[in-house]
Structure 1
């Protein structure tokens, strides 16, 4: 499933160097190499960068069904310091209704350690959203 067009339309995510690794209906995996620009004052990955990585995976998974889906709620728990050279976010759909859908996103580092967990809910509009309609 090709959702690269979705990332191409997201200038903020692209500016952070986020890339799509894998996409399937209701699923997305993203990655971001950590550079000095991604680090906070303590020298670890900034919480905002981690959230943005997770948010893009969440958005791609939600919009992968071809129906415009907009986040209405999201919360994140930072479990471990954002260490490592690359971070990954894996979004999985846990509930899909006609108007609402819920996703769980697991954020891990290149040592396969879970560093954060996010849950998000989208509102699914009655509007097609594909490469052709975007």
Structure 2
């Protein structure tokens, strides 16, 4: 479940520009465990982005404690899933 949370944060970050992105690779480190009922927060940070790839760091916290880190690579397709020429904006 913790990996799913980190992966979801990664997905939101790499698709935030409206361009379809696919996860290519992840490397995750579990430094502490979580217990049932713990409130976890995931934060994804874009480290670098270019035309075809994006590099991300995801951190999962339980309170102030960093319990998981994940490095992730996304492939950025040329297709936008949001129409940038939408006249209703």
Q: Could you say which TM-score interval applies, normalised by the shorter chain?
A: 0.7 to 0.9
Segments of 4+ moved more than 6 angstroms? none
2:46 maps to 1:88: no
Deviation at 1:130, TM superposition (A): 2.8
More helix by share: 1
Deviation at 1:129, TM superposition (A): 1.9
Which 5+ residue runs of structure 1 have no aligned equivalent? Answer: 1-48
- Number of corresponding residues: 83
- In 2, the alpha carbon distance for the partners of 1:129 and 1:122 equals 16
More strand by share: 2
- In 2, the alpha carbon distance for the partners of 1:123 and 1:90 equals 20
Within the candidate set 67, 71, 83, 1:119 is matched to 71
TM-score scaled to structure 2, two decimals? Answer: 0.87
In structure 1, the residue matched to 2:60 is 107
Q: Greater Rg, structure 1 or structure 2?
A: 2
Which 5+ residue runs of structure 2 have no aligned equivalent? Answer: 84-89
In structure 2, the residue matched to 1:36 is none
Instruction: Specify the SS of the correspondent of 1:130.
Output: coil
In structure 2, the residue matched to 1:70 is 22
In structure 1, the residue matched to 2:50 is 97
